[in-house]
Structure 1
Amino acid sequence: MFLLFSLGGTSVALQAANSVTGLVKDGSSVTNSDNLLYIALIFGASLAANVWCFFRISGGLFNPAVTLAFVVIGGITPIRGVLLFIAQIAGGLAGAALADGLTPGPLFAATTLGGGASIAQGLFIEVFMTAMLVFTILIVAVEKNKATFIAPVAIGLSFFICEMFSVYYTGGSLNPARSLGPAVMNRKFPGYFWIYWVGPILGSLLAAGFYKLLKLVRYETNLGPDCDGDGVTYEYENDMRARLNRIEGLLSQQVKQTSAV
Protein backbone atom coordinates (compact mmCIF):
# COMPACT_ATOMS: atom_id res chain seq x y z
CA MET A 1 0.00 0.00 0.00
CA PHE A 2 2.83 2.38 0.86
CA LEU A 3 4.44 1.95 -2.55
CA LEU A 4 1.12 1.87 -4.37
CA PHE A 5 0.19 5.37 -3.20
CA SER A 6 3.75 6.71 -3.37
CA LEU A 7 4.52 5.44 -6.87
CA GLY A 8 1.08 6.31 -8.16
CA GLY A 9 1.39 9.87 -6.85
CA THR A 10 4.87 10.17 -8.33
CA SER A 11 3.63 9.01 -11.72
CA VAL A 12 0.94 11.71 -11.64
CA ALA A 13 3.45 14.42 -10.76
CA LEU A 14 5.90 13.49 -13.51
CA GLN A 15 3.40 13.47 -16.36
CA ALA A 16 4.32 17.05 -17.17
CA ALA A 17 2.29 17.34 -20.37
CA ASN A 18 -0.97 16.13 -18.82
CA SER A 19 -0.80 16.90 -15.12
CA VAL A 20 -1.75 20.11 -13.36
CA THR A 21 1.32 19.58 -11.19
CA GLY A 22 3.61 19.42 -14.20
CA LEU A 23 5.40 22.20 -16.04
CA VAL A 24 6.16 22.35 -19.76
CA LYS A 25 8.36 24.96 -21.38
CA ASP A 26 9.17 25.09 -25.09
CA GLY A 27 7.69 21.64 -25.56
CA SER A 28 9.76 19.89 -22.91
CA SER A 29 9.37 19.33 -19.18
CA VAL A 30 11.61 21.35 -16.88
CA THR A 31 12.38 21.38 -13.18
CA ASN A 32 9.30 22.23 -11.16
CA SER A 33 9.37 22.76 -7.42
CA ASP A 34 5.68 21.84 -7.33
CA ASN A 35 6.57 18.41 -8.68
CA LEU A 36 9.28 17.91 -6.09
CA LEU A 37 7.02 19.00 -3.24
CA TYR A 38 4.21 16.77 -4.46
CA ILE A 39 6.45 13.70 -4.70
CA ALA A 40 8.07 14.31 -1.31
CA LEU A 41 4.68 14.86 0.32
CA ILE A 42 3.06 11.76 -1.18
CA PHE A 43 5.97 9.59 -0.08
CA GLY A 44 6.24 11.08 3.40
CA ALA A 45 2.50 10.97 4.09
CA SER A 46 2.13 7.48 2.67
CA LEU A 47 5.00 6.15 4.78
CA ALA A 48 3.67 7.78 7.96
CA ALA A 49 0.14 6.43 7.44
CA ASN A 50 1.22 2.90 6.60
CA VAL A 51 3.81 2.68 9.38
CA TRP A 52 1.05 3.70 11.79
CA CYS A 53 -1.25 1.01 10.37
CA PHE A 54 1.25 -1.85 10.25
CA PHE A 55 3.47 -0.98 13.23
CA ARG A 56 1.84 -3.61 15.44
CA ILE A 57 1.57 -6.17 12.66
CA SER A 58 5.01 -6.33 11.05
CA GLY A 59 6.84 -3.46 12.71
CA GLY A 60 5.95 -1.19 9.81
CA LEU A 61 9.00 -2.30 7.84
CA PHE A 62 8.71 -1.67 4.08
CA ASN A 63 12.37 -1.09 3.30
CA PRO A 64 15.15 -3.71 3.05
CA ALA A 65 17.63 -1.07 4.22
CA VAL A 66 15.68 -0.54 7.43
CA THR A 67 15.36 -4.29 7.91
CA LEU A 68 19.16 -4.61 7.59
CA ALA A 69 19.63 -2.01 10.33
CA PHE A 70 17.23 -3.89 12.61
CA VAL A 71 19.22 -7.10 12.06
CA VAL A 72 22.52 -5.31 12.77
CA ILE A 73 21.33 -3.84 16.09
CA GLY A 74 19.70 -7.12 17.11
CA GLY A 75 16.15 -5.83 16.85
CA ILE A 76 15.08 -8.82 14.76
CA THR A 77 16.65 -12.18 14.00
CA PRO A 78 18.52 -12.77 10.72
CA ILE A 79 15.91 -15.34 9.69
CA ARG A 80 13.09 -12.87 10.17
CA GLY A 81 15.17 -10.29 8.34
CA VAL A 82 15.49 -12.57 5.31
CA LEU A 83 11.75 -13.27 5.33
CA LEU A 84 10.99 -9.55 5.58
CA PHE A 85 13.44 -8.85 2.75
CA ILE A 86 11.62 -11.29 0.48
CA ALA A 87 8.25 -9.81 1.45
CA GLN A 88 9.50 -6.26 0.85
CA ILE A 89 10.87 -7.05 -2.60
CA ALA A 90 7.60 -8.80 -3.47
CA GLY A 91 5.70 -5.80 -2.10
CA GLY A 92 7.78 -3.42 -4.20
CA LEU A 93 6.98 -5.39 -7.35
CA ALA A 94 3.30 -5.70 -6.44
CA GLY A 95 2.98 -2.01 -5.57
CA ALA A 96 4.59 -0.97 -8.85
CA ALA A 97 2.40 -3.41 -10.81
CA LEU A 98 -0.76 -2.04 -9.18
CA ALA A 99 0.30 1.58 -9.74
CA ASP A 100 1.14 0.75 -13.36
CA GLY A 101 -2.18 -1.00 -13.91
CA LEU A 102 -4.32 1.66 -12.21
CA THR A 103 -2.80 4.68 -13.97
CA PRO A 104 -2.97 5.25 -17.75
CA GLY A 105 0.22 5.33 -19.77
CA PRO A 106 3.68 4.28 -18.60
CA LEU A 107 4.66 4.37 -14.95
CA PHE A 108 6.54 7.65 -14.47
CA ALA A 109 8.09 6.65 -11.17
CA ALA A 110 11.54 5.27 -12.00
CA THR A 111 14.53 6.49 -10.01
CA THR A 112 17.12 8.08 -12.29
CA LEU A 113 19.96 10.52 -11.87
CA GLY A 114 19.13 14.14 -12.67
CA GLY A 115 20.14 17.72 -12.07
CA GLY A 116 23.61 17.01 -13.40
CA ALA A 117 24.45 14.64 -10.53
CA SER A 118 27.29 12.20 -11.20
CA ILE A 119 27.11 8.54 -10.26
CA ALA A 120 29.37 9.14 -7.25
CA GLN A 121 27.24 12.07 -6.11
CA GLY A 122 24.08 10.03 -6.58
CA LEU A 123 25.56 7.18 -4.56
CA PHE A 124 26.46 9.36 -1.60
CA ILE A 125 23.17 11.22 -1.71
CA GLU A 126 21.44 7.86 -1.35
CA VAL A 127 23.84 6.89 1.45
CA PHE A 128 23.25 9.96 3.59
CA MET A 129 19.54 10.27 2.91
CA THR A 130 19.03 6.63 3.85
CA ALA A 131 21.16 7.09 6.96
CA MET A 132 18.93 9.99 8.01
CA LEU A 133 15.75 7.98 7.54
CA VAL A 134 17.05 4.83 9.22
CA PHE A 135 18.48 6.72 12.19
CA THR A 136 15.15 8.48 12.69
CA ILE A 137 13.41 5.12 12.79
CA LEU A 138 15.90 3.69 15.26
CA ILE A 139 15.86 6.65 17.63
CA VAL A 140 12.10 7.31 17.71
CA ALA A 141 10.64 3.83 17.21
CA VAL A 142 13.20 1.36 18.56
CA GLU A 143 14.07 3.56 21.53
CA LYS A 144 10.90 3.59 23.63
CA ASN A 145 9.83 6.82 25.30
CA LYS A 146 6.77 8.97 25.87
CA ALA A 147 6.66 10.04 22.22
CA THR A 148 6.92 6.56 20.70
CA PHE A 149 3.22 6.45 19.89
CA ILE A 150 3.69 9.29 17.38
CA ALA A 151 6.89 7.84 15.90
CA PRO A 152 5.19 7.38 12.49
CA VAL A 153 4.81 11.17 12.24
CA ALA A 154 8.53 11.73 12.83
CA ILE A 155 9.38 8.95 10.36
CA GLY A 156 7.12 10.43 7.70
CA LEU A 157 8.58 13.91 8.23
CA SER A 158 12.10 12.53 8.02
CA PHE A 159 11.28 10.81 4.73
CA PHE A 160 9.63 13.99 3.46
CA ILE A 161 12.78 15.99 4.18
CA CYS A 162 15.02 13.40 2.55
CA GLU A 163 12.82 13.29 -0.54
CA MET A 164 12.81 17.07 -0.86
CA PHE A 165 16.59 16.94 -1.03
CA SER A 166 17.14 13.84 -3.14
CA VAL A 167 14.27 13.53 -5.65
CA TYR A 168 15.77 16.06 -8.05
CA TYR A 169 19.17 14.37 -8.09
CA THR A 170 18.53 10.64 -7.70
CA GLY A 171 14.77 10.19 -7.76
CA GLY A 172 14.80 9.79 -3.98
CA SER A 173 14.95 6.02 -3.66
CA LEU A 174 16.36 5.28 -0.16
CA ASN A 175 14.79 1.85 -0.69
CA PRO A 176 15.93 -0.89 -3.10
CA ALA A 177 12.40 -2.28 -3.35
CA ARG A 178 11.08 1.15 -4.34
CA SER A 179 13.54 1.37 -7.26
CA LEU A 180 13.22 -2.24 -8.37
CA GLY A 181 9.44 -2.20 -8.89
CA PRO A 182 9.25 0.63 -11.47
CA ALA A 183 12.42 -0.62 -13.21
CA VAL A 184 10.83 -4.04 -13.71
CA MET A 185 7.52 -2.57 -14.87
CA ASN A 186 9.26 -0.28 -17.37
CA ARG A 187 11.82 -2.96 -18.30
CA LYS A 188 14.58 -0.41 -18.01
CA PHE A 189 17.67 -0.68 -15.80
CA PRO A 190 20.21 2.14 -16.22
CA GLY A 191 23.88 1.27 -15.92
CA TYR A 192 24.09 3.00 -12.54
CA PHE A 193 21.09 1.14 -11.09
CA TRP A 194 23.41 -0.46 -8.56
CA ILE A 195 23.59 2.79 -6.58
CA TYR A 196 19.98 2.24 -5.50
CA TRP A 197 21.11 -0.93 -3.75
CA VAL A 198 24.59 -0.06 -2.55
CA GLY A 199 23.62 3.45 -1.38
CA PRO A 200 20.75 2.41 0.92
CA ILE A 201 22.75 -0.54 2.27
CA LEU A 202 25.72 1.67 3.19
CA GLY A 203 23.38 4.28 4.63
CA SER A 204 21.67 1.64 6.74
CA LEU A 205 24.98 0.39 8.12
CA LEU A 206 26.09 3.97 8.83
CA ALA A 207 22.91 4.70 10.79
CA ALA A 208 23.07 1.40 12.68
CA GLY A 209 26.71 2.01 13.58
CA PHE A 210 25.99 5.52 14.85
CA TYR A 211 23.02 4.22 16.85
CA LYS A 212 25.15 1.54 18.48
CA LEU A 213 27.80 4.15 19.29
CA LEU A 214 25.18 6.27 21.05
CA LYS A 215 24.04 3.22 23.02
CA LEU A 216 27.66 2.48 23.92
CA VAL A 217 28.16 5.91 25.45
CA ARG A 218 24.76 5.65 27.18
CA TYR A 219 23.19 8.69 25.57
CA GLU A 220 19.99 8.03 27.52
CA THR A 221 21.62 9.32 30.71
CA ASN A 222 21.02 12.84 29.39
CA LEU A 223 17.98 14.49 30.92
CA GLY A 224 15.15 15.31 28.55
CA PRO A 225 11.39 15.60 28.21
CA ASP A 226 10.99 11.82 28.19
CA CYS A 227 12.50 11.41 31.67
CA ASP A 228 10.83 10.59 34.96
CA GLY A 229 10.90 13.02 37.84
CA ASP A 230 13.98 11.25 39.22
CA GLY A 231 15.87 11.79 35.96
CA VAL A 232 15.67 8.21 34.70
CA THR A 233 14.65 7.74 31.08
CA TYR A 234 11.55 5.64 30.49
CA GLU A 235 12.30 2.11 29.34
CA TYR A 236 9.12 0.45 28.21
CA GLU A 237 10.76 -2.96 28.07
CA ASN A 238 10.79 -3.05 31.87
CA ASP A 239 7.96 -5.09 33.32
CA MET A 240 5.17 -3.61 35.40
CA ARG A 241 6.69 -4.82 38.65
CA ALA A 242 9.85 -2.83 38.02
CA ARG A 243 7.81 0.30 37.31
CA LEU A 244 5.80 -0.15 40.48
CA ASN A 245 8.99 -0.62 42.48
CA ARG A 246 10.29 2.68 41.17
CA ILE A 247 7.05 4.44 42.03
CA GLU A 248 7.12 2.96 45.54
CA GLY A 249 10.70 4.10 45.94
CA LEU A 250 9.83 7.65 44.93
CA LEU A 251 6.86 7.68 47.31
CA SER A 252 9.05 6.40 50.14
CA GLN A 253 11.55 9.18 49.54
CA GLN A 254 8.75 11.73 49.58
CA VAL A 255 7.38 10.36 52.85
CA LYS A 256 10.84 10.47 54.47
CA GLN A 257 11.36 14.06 53.35
CA THR A 258 7.95 15.03 54.70
CA SER A 259 8.64 13.31 58.03
CA ALA A 260 11.97 15.05 58.36
CA VAL A 261 10.27 18.40 57.99
Structure 2
Amino acid sequence: MAAEPTTPTPILRRGYFTDGIAGDIKAASLEFFGTATFIMLGLGGIQAGSISDGSLVEKRMYWAASMGLSLLVSAWLFYRITGGLFNPNVSLALWLVGVIKPVRFVLYCIAQLAGAIAGSALVRALTPEPYNVNVSLPDGISKSQGVFIEMFITAALILAVLMLAAEKHEATPFAPLGIGLTLFAGHLFALAYTGAAMNTARAFGPAVVTGFPKSDHWVYWLGPFLGSLLGVAVYTFLKHYHYWTINPGQTAIQPQLSPADPVDTLRATLNMTDENGVRRSGSITEKRSSIDRRGPSASIDKRRLNDSAV
Protein backbone atom coordinates (compact mmCIF):
# COMPACT_ATOMS: atom_id res chain seq x y z
CA MET A 1 0.00 0.00 0.00
CA ALA A 2 1.45 3.33 -1.02
CA ALA A 3 2.16 5.81 1.68
CA GLU A 4 -0.12 8.83 1.82
CA PRO A 5 1.46 12.08 0.64
CA THR A 6 2.46 14.33 3.47
CA THR A 7 1.47 17.98 3.71
CA PRO A 8 4.49 20.20 3.06
CA THR A 9 5.72 22.10 6.04
CA PRO A 10 5.40 25.91 5.87
CA ILE A 11 9.11 26.37 5.28
CA LEU A 12 8.91 24.21 2.12
CA ARG A 13 5.75 25.80 0.77
CA ARG A 14 6.13 27.51 -2.60
CA GLY A 15 6.91 31.19 -2.24
CA TYR A 16 7.78 30.97 1.44
CA PHE A 17 11.28 32.34 1.14
CA THR A 18 10.24 35.08 -1.27
CA ASP A 19 7.32 36.19 0.86
CA GLY A 20 9.34 35.93 4.05
CA ILE A 21 12.27 37.98 2.81
CA ALA A 22 9.93 40.55 1.27
CA GLY A 23 8.26 40.97 4.63
CA ASP A 24 11.60 41.28 6.40
CA ILE A 25 12.78 43.94 3.93
CA LYS A 26 9.56 45.87 4.39
CA ALA A 27 9.88 45.71 8.17
CA ALA A 28 13.53 46.75 8.03
CA SER A 29 12.68 49.71 5.80
CA LEU A 30 10.15 50.95 8.32
CA GLU A 31 12.59 50.26 11.16
CA PHE A 32 15.00 52.60 9.37
CA PHE A 33 12.46 55.43 9.53
CA GLY A 34 11.62 54.64 13.14
CA THR A 35 15.27 54.68 14.17
CA ALA A 36 15.90 57.93 12.29
CA THR A 37 12.92 59.48 14.08
CA PHE A 38 14.13 58.35 17.50
CA ILE A 39 17.71 59.51 16.92
CA MET A 40 16.65 62.85 15.44
CA LEU A 41 14.33 63.67 18.36
CA GLY A 42 16.71 62.41 21.03
CA LEU A 43 19.92 63.96 19.72
CA GLY A 44 18.08 67.13 18.74
CA GLY A 45 17.06 67.52 22.36
CA ILE A 46 20.63 66.97 23.50
CA GLN A 47 21.86 69.55 20.98
CA ALA A 48 19.29 72.09 22.15
CA GLY A 49 19.97 71.40 25.81
CA SER A 50 23.71 71.88 25.39
CA ILE A 51 23.27 75.56 24.45
CA SER A 52 20.60 76.37 27.04
CA ASP A 53 21.26 78.25 30.25
CA GLY A 54 21.45 76.24 33.41
CA SER A 55 23.77 74.16 35.52
CA LEU A 56 25.40 70.97 34.33
CA VAL A 57 22.97 68.94 36.45
CA GLU A 58 20.01 70.68 34.81
CA LYS A 59 21.46 70.04 31.37
CA ARG A 60 21.97 66.37 32.14
CA MET A 61 18.38 66.09 33.30
CA TYR A 62 17.33 67.73 30.02
CA TRP A 63 19.43 65.29 27.99
CA ALA A 64 18.17 62.26 29.90
CA ALA A 65 14.56 63.38 29.51
CA SER A 66 15.12 64.03 25.81
CA MET A 67 16.40 60.51 25.14
CA GLY A 68 13.87 58.78 27.38
CA LEU A 69 10.86 60.64 25.99
CA SER A 70 12.10 60.28 22.42
CA LEU A 71 12.27 56.50 22.78
CA LEU A 72 8.90 56.42 24.51
CA VAL A 73 7.20 58.39 21.74
CA SER A 74 9.00 56.74 18.82
CA ALA A 75 8.53 53.23 20.16
CA TRP A 76 4.84 53.84 20.73
CA LEU A 77 4.47 55.15 17.18
CA PHE A 78 6.19 52.15 15.60
CA TYR A 79 5.35 49.50 18.21
CA ARG A 80 2.63 47.84 16.12
CA ILE A 81 4.57 48.21 12.88
CA THR A 82 8.08 46.87 13.45
CA GLY A 83 8.19 46.40 17.21
CA GLY A 84 9.96 49.75 17.66
CA LEU A 85 13.41 48.35 18.43
CA PHE A 86 15.73 51.12 17.08
CA ASN A 87 18.69 49.34 18.66
CA PRO A 88 20.94 46.53 17.31
CA ASN A 89 21.46 45.30 20.86
CA VAL A 90 17.71 44.89 21.35
CA SER A 91 17.55 43.12 17.98
CA LEU A 92 20.30 40.76 19.13
CA ALA A 93 18.42 39.96 22.32
CA LEU A 94 15.16 39.29 20.48
CA TRP A 95 16.97 37.04 18.02
CA LEU A 96 18.62 35.09 20.84
CA VAL A 97 15.26 34.40 22.52
CA GLY A 98 13.62 33.51 19.21
CA VAL A 99 11.31 36.50 18.74
CA ILE A 100 12.80 37.45 15.37
CA LYS A 101 14.47 35.27 12.73
CA PRO A 102 18.11 35.55 11.64
CA VAL A 103 17.35 37.32 8.34
CA ARG A 104 15.22 39.96 10.02
CA PHE A 105 17.85 40.36 12.72
CA VAL A 106 20.55 41.15 10.15
CA LEU A 107 18.29 43.49 8.17
CA TYR A 108 17.16 45.24 11.35
CA CYS A 109 20.74 45.85 12.45
CA ILE A 110 21.61 47.36 9.06
CA ALA A 111 18.46 49.50 9.10
CA GLN A 112 19.10 50.69 12.65
CA LEU A 113 22.69 51.70 11.97
CA ALA A 114 21.67 53.46 8.75
CA GLY A 115 18.74 55.14 10.49
CA ALA A 116 21.04 56.39 13.23
CA ILE A 117 23.34 57.92 10.62
CA ALA A 118 20.39 59.60 8.90
CA GLY A 119 18.97 60.97 12.16
CA SER A 120 22.38 62.23 13.30
CA ALA A 121 23.01 63.90 9.94
CA LEU A 122 19.63 65.66 10.14
CA VAL A 123 20.47 67.06 13.57
CA ARG A 124 23.82 68.33 12.34
CA ALA A 125 22.28 69.89 9.22
CA LEU A 126 19.36 71.53 11.04
CA THR A 127 21.14 73.04 14.04
CA PRO A 128 23.67 75.88 13.73
CA GLU A 129 25.53 75.15 16.97
CA PRO A 130 28.69 73.02 17.22
CA TYR A 131 27.81 69.33 17.07
CA ASN A 132 27.71 68.13 20.66
CA VAL A 133 26.04 64.73 20.70
CA ASN A 134 28.93 62.25 20.45
CA VAL A 135 29.45 59.87 23.34
CA SER A 136 32.92 59.35 24.77
CA LEU A 137 34.64 58.54 28.04
CA PRO A 138 35.61 61.57 30.14
CA ASP A 139 38.88 61.90 32.00
CA GLY A 140 39.04 59.62 35.02
CA ILE A 141 36.92 56.83 33.52
CA SER A 142 38.91 53.86 32.23
CA LYS A 143 37.86 51.93 29.17
CA SER A 144 37.08 48.87 31.28
CA GLN A 145 34.82 50.94 33.51
CA GLY A 146 33.11 52.33 30.43
CA VAL A 147 32.53 48.84 29.05
CA PHE A 148 30.96 47.57 32.26
CA ILE A 149 28.80 50.65 32.80
CA GLU A 150 27.45 50.33 29.26
CA MET A 151 26.99 46.62 29.80
CA PHE A 152 24.86 46.98 32.92
CA ILE A 153 22.67 49.83 31.74
CA THR A 154 22.12 48.11 28.40
CA ALA A 155 21.22 44.90 30.23
CA ALA A 156 18.57 46.84 32.17
CA LEU A 157 17.12 48.13 28.90
CA ILE A 158 17.17 44.64 27.36
CA LEU A 159 15.40 43.17 30.38
CA ALA A 160 12.76 45.89 30.17
CA VAL A 161 12.12 45.06 26.52
CA LEU A 162 11.91 41.33 27.17
CA MET A 163 9.73 41.52 30.27
CA LEU A 164 7.42 44.30 29.11
CA ALA A 165 7.17 43.75 25.35
CA ALA A 166 8.28 40.20 24.51
CA GLU A 167 6.34 38.73 27.44
CA LYS A 168 2.63 39.11 26.77
CA HIS A 169 0.38 40.32 29.59
CA GLU A 170 -2.16 43.03 30.37
CA ALA A 171 0.52 45.74 30.51
CA THR A 172 2.17 44.83 27.18
CA PRO A 173 0.42 47.64 25.22
CA PHE A 174 2.09 50.09 27.60
CA ALA A 175 5.56 48.58 27.15
CA PRO A 176 6.96 51.71 25.41
CA LEU A 177 6.28 53.68 28.59
CA GLY A 178 8.35 51.37 30.78
CA ILE A 179 11.09 51.01 28.18
CA GLY A 180 11.38 54.78 27.74
CA LEU A 181 11.60 55.27 31.51
CA THR A 182 14.33 52.62 31.67
CA LEU A 183 16.35 54.54 29.10
CA PHE A 184 15.77 57.73 31.12
CA ALA A 185 16.99 56.02 34.32
CA GLY A 186 20.06 54.66 32.54
CA HIS A 187 20.93 58.16 31.38
CA LEU A 188 20.59 59.55 34.89
CA PHE A 189 23.24 57.09 35.99
CA ALA A 190 25.66 56.98 33.08
CA LEU A 191 25.54 60.36 31.37
CA ALA A 192 28.39 61.63 33.53
CA TYR A 193 30.53 58.54 32.95
CA THR A 194 29.99 57.22 29.43
CA GLY A 195 27.37 59.45 27.82
CA ALA A 196 24.86 56.61 28.27
CA ALA A 197 24.69 55.20 24.76
CA MET A 198 22.85 51.96 25.71
CA ASN A 199 22.62 51.48 21.96
CA THR A 200 25.43 50.90 19.47
CA ALA A 201 23.48 52.70 16.73
CA ARG A 202 23.10 55.80 18.93
CA ALA A 203 26.90 55.94 19.31
CA PHE A 204 27.61 54.95 15.71
CA GLY A 205 25.44 57.55 13.96
CA PRO A 206 27.09 60.70 15.35
CA ALA A 207 30.55 59.09 15.08
CA VAL A 208 30.06 58.51 11.36
CA VAL A 209 28.80 62.06 10.81
CA THR A 210 31.83 63.53 12.61
CA GLY A 211 34.45 61.12 11.25
CA PHE A 212 35.04 59.05 14.42
CA PRO A 213 36.80 61.72 16.47
CA LYS A 214 37.30 59.52 19.56
CA SER A 215 39.49 56.44 19.90
CA ASP A 216 37.22 54.79 22.48
CA HIS A 217 34.32 54.17 20.08
CA TRP A 218 34.80 50.40 20.42
CA VAL A 219 33.57 50.67 24.02
CA TYR A 220 30.09 51.39 22.66
CA TRP A 221 30.13 48.19 20.64
CA LEU A 222 31.52 45.83 23.26
CA GLY A 223 29.65 47.19 26.29
CA PRO A 224 26.12 47.08 24.81
CA PHE A 225 26.88 43.72 23.18
CA LEU A 226 27.74 42.24 26.56
CA GLY A 227 24.67 43.95 27.98
CA SER A 228 22.50 42.11 25.46
CA LEU A 229 23.97 38.79 26.56
CA LEU A 230 23.53 39.63 30.24
CA GLY A 231 19.94 40.76 29.79
CA VAL A 232 19.09 37.59 27.87
CA ALA A 233 20.81 35.46 30.54
CA VAL A 234 18.71 37.03 33.31
CA TYR A 235 15.54 36.65 31.25
CA THR A 236 16.38 33.02 30.51
CA PHE A 237 16.88 32.33 34.23
CA LEU A 238 13.54 33.92 35.09
CA LYS A 239 11.77 32.08 32.30
CA HIS A 240 13.34 28.71 33.07
CA TYR A 241 12.25 28.87 36.71
CA HIS A 242 8.72 30.03 35.82
CA TYR A 243 8.83 33.49 37.34
CA TRP A 244 5.05 33.85 36.99
CA THR A 245 4.48 31.17 39.63
CA ILE A 246 6.35 33.07 42.33
CA ASN A 247 3.75 35.80 42.73
CA PRO A 248 0.78 34.83 40.53
CA GLY A 249 -2.04 37.17 39.70
CA GLN A 250 0.06 40.35 39.68
CA THR A 251 -1.57 41.50 36.46
CA ALA A 252 -5.06 40.35 37.42
CA ILE A 253 -7.88 42.86 37.29
CA GLN A 254 -10.58 40.87 39.13
CA PRO A 255 -11.64 42.51 42.43
CA GLN A 256 -12.14 39.08 43.97
CA LEU A 257 -8.36 38.61 44.04
CA SER A 258 -7.80 41.78 46.06
CA PRO A 259 -6.92 41.49 49.77
CA ALA A 260 -9.84 41.10 52.14
CA ASP A 261 -11.19 44.07 54.06
CA PRO A 262 -8.69 44.62 56.93
CA VAL A 263 -11.57 45.32 59.31
CA ASP A 264 -13.23 42.03 58.44
CA THR A 265 -9.91 40.25 58.81
CA LEU A 266 -9.41 41.78 62.27
CA ARG A 267 -12.92 40.86 63.36
CA ALA A 268 -12.48 37.31 62.15
CA THR A 269 -9.21 37.05 64.04
CA LEU A 270 -10.79 38.36 67.26
CA ASN A 271 -13.79 36.04 66.89
CA MET A 272 -11.66 32.93 66.55
CA THR A 273 -11.57 32.46 70.34
CA ASP A 274 -14.43 32.71 72.84
CA GLU A 275 -14.36 34.04 76.40
CA ASN A 276 -12.83 30.78 77.68
CA GLY A 277 -10.03 30.91 75.13
CA VAL A 278 -11.48 28.05 73.08
CA ARG A 279 -10.77 28.37 69.35
CA ARG A 280 -13.87 29.01 67.26
CA SER A 281 -14.62 28.24 63.63
CA GLY A 282 -15.72 30.75 61.10
CA SER A 283 -12.44 32.35 60.16
CA ILE A 284 -12.19 34.73 57.27
CA THR A 285 -10.56 31.93 55.26
CA GLU A 286 -13.63 29.75 55.66
CA LYS A 287 -15.93 32.61 54.73
CA ARG A 288 -13.96 33.28 51.56
CA SER A 289 -13.95 29.57 50.75
CA SER A 290 -17.74 29.47 51.05
CA ILE A 291 -17.93 32.26 48.49
CA ASP A 292 -15.79 30.25 46.11
CA ARG A 293 -18.19 27.29 46.42
CA ARG A 294 -21.05 29.23 44.85
CA GLY A 295 -20.33 27.66 41.51
CA PRO A 296 -17.86 27.42 38.67
CA SER A 297 -18.76 30.90 37.43
CA ALA A 298 -17.82 32.47 40.74
CA SER A 299 -14.43 30.83 41.06
CA ILE A 300 -11.34 32.10 39.32
CA ASP A 301 -8.63 29.88 38.02
CA LYS A 302 -5.46 31.66 39.06
CA ARG A 303 -3.50 29.71 36.51
CA ARG A 304 -5.16 31.88 33.85
CA LEU A 305 -3.82 34.99 35.54
CA ASN A 306 -0.16 34.17 35.02
CA ASP A 307 1.97 36.86 33.48
CA SER A 308 2.95 34.43 30.73
CA ALA A 309 0.96 32.15 28.51
CA VAL A 310 3.71 29.54 28.64
Match of 1:89 among 113, 121, 126: 113
Other-structure match for 2:250: 225
- Indicate the structure whose relative CO is greater, using CA pairs within 8 Å and at least 6 residues apart: 1
Q: Distance in 1 between matches of 2:163 and 2:141?
A: 31
Tell me the secondary structure at the aligned position of residue 57 of structure 1: coil
Alignment of 1:1-261 (within 5 A): 1-15=37-51, 19-21=52-54, 23=55, 32-114=56-138, 116-222=140-246, 223-227=248-252, 229-232=300-303, 233-234=305-306
Matched residues, number: 226
**1:203-230 deviation digits (Å, cap 9, x = unpaired):** 0011011111111111112313214742
How far the C-alpha of 1:105 sits from its partner, in A, is 2.9
Deviation per CA, 1:33-85: give whole Å up to 9, x if none.
11110010000000011111101110011000000000000010011000100
CA contact (8 A) 1:115 1:169 kept: no
Task: Flag structure 2 segments of 5+ consecutive residues without an equivalent.
Answer: 1-36, 255-299
- Counterpart AA for 1:134: I
**Matched letter for residue 175 of structure 1:** N
- Counterpart CA distance in 1 for 2:191 and 2:138 is 9
**DSSP 3-state at the match of 1:170:** coil
TM-score by length of 1: 0.82
Q: Structure 1 residues 114-123 or 104-113, which shifts more?
A: 114-123
State the alpha-carbon separation in 1 of the partners of residues 75 and 41 from structure 2: 13
Q: Distance in 2 between matches of 1:50 and 1:237?
A: 28
1:95-150 CA-to-partner distances (Å, cap 9, x unmatched) read: 00011111113321000112621111111000000000110110011111111111
Contact 1:144 1:234 in 2 (8 A): no
